[in-house]
Structure 1
Amino acid sequence: MKRLDIFVIILLFLPFKTFCQMESQTLKMKTKIFLDFVDAINTSDVDKLYSLMTNDHIFIDSHDNKATGRDNLKQAWIGYFAMFPDYKIEINQMIEKDSLVCAFGYASGTYKNLKTADNSNYWRVPAAWTAIINDNLVKQWQVYVDNIIVMDIVKRNQ
């Protein structure tokens, strides 16, 4: 009888464990896609970014402005990398829930790579990002950052 009880318990928990492993693998895949997107940003690889976006990709900036469509966003990224060729995202922490991946860290860059002795065109600010991952592609990318420093640098150089 005790052997049967143990066998039943094993059978009951085996599917749950398998489900949890599958769920964990799915979550890891979403984090990987997010990190691939960040890597494409950090290397200014517009073609890789394009390949990771859904056709109806949505970008939302820190002022809640929205741009849609991966063709439009490809051009937007080309423009942004022209403005900040060394733009980088540093991630310190990530959270994942269902199709949502969130990251926290810093964004940095140098305006048009205009290096100065006092480094006045360089900025590094705390930031957060969220992405909605659907079918192994980034459907939505949103950034949360106080970019007043960045805007001041841009204005000063115009």
Structure 2
Amino acid sequence: MKAKRNSPVEVVRLFNDCISRRDAEGLSELLTEDHVFIDSAGHAVSGKNACVDAWRGFFDAFPDYYNVIERMETKHNLVAVAGHSVCSDIRLHGPALWKAIVVDDRLAEWHVFDDTEENRRRLALES
């Protein structure tokens, strides 16, 4: 019997739950080997191990950080996400957009965007 597959939206929800719990091992299980994380400034970290290490450092630096997902739009394996981040560090607190690419139940890319009209159009998240 074939194992039940998660939808791309469910993979994003699981990923976000791991961020909220600061669960680096859980994140590791959800990432492809060639996973790429891209921050809102366009800086990228490539490779599952490097990304998990980066998340561990992030969790240590910002222990109260979490994301609130308010809306998701999907097109095939791309999930565009609108919401906001909560953190005592004001630089990380506020509205945000994310783009996820899901391949075979794993997250291949997580891209953070500033919440601007242009980025909402780019991600098809216009209000």
Give me the TM-score of the superposition, normalised by structure 1.
0.66
Residue 50 (str. 1) matches residue 28 (str. 2): yes
Residue 106 (str. 1) matches residue 75 (str. 2): no
User: Paired residue for 1:124, among 68, 93, 113?
Assistant: 93
Q: Is the 8 A contact 1:132 1:138 kept in 2?
A: yes
Structure-1 residue corresponding to 2:7: 29
Q: Is the 8 A contact 1:125 1:145 kept in 2?
A: no
User: Paired residue for 1:79, among 41, 52, 57?
Assistant: 57
Residue 133 (str. 1) matches residue 111 (str. 2): no
Residue 92 (str. 1) matches residue 92 (str. 2): no
Residues 58-80 of structure 1 deviation map (CA, whole Å, 9 limit, x = unaligned):
00010111110010011100111
Pairwise CA distance, 1:145: 2.5
Query: Relative contact order: is structure 1 or structure 2 higher (C-alpha 8 Å, sep ≥ 6)?
Result: 2
Give me the TM-score of the superposition, normalised by structure 2.
0.82
Q: Is the 8 A contact 1:132 1:140 kept in 2?
A: yes
Pairwise CA distance, 1:110: 2.2
Query: Identity percentage over the alignment?
Result: 33
Pairwise CA distance, 1:45: 0.4
For the pair shown, the structure with the greater C-alpha radius of gyration is 1
Structure-2 residue corresponding to 1:114: none
* Matches for 1:143-158 after TM superposition, within 5 Å: 143-145=112-114
Output the aligned Cα RMSD.
1.9
Give the distance between the partners of 2:58 and 2:92, measured in 1 at CA: 15
Runs (4+) off by over 2 Å: 121-124
Give the distance between the partners of 2:73 and 2:57, measured in 1 at CA: 29
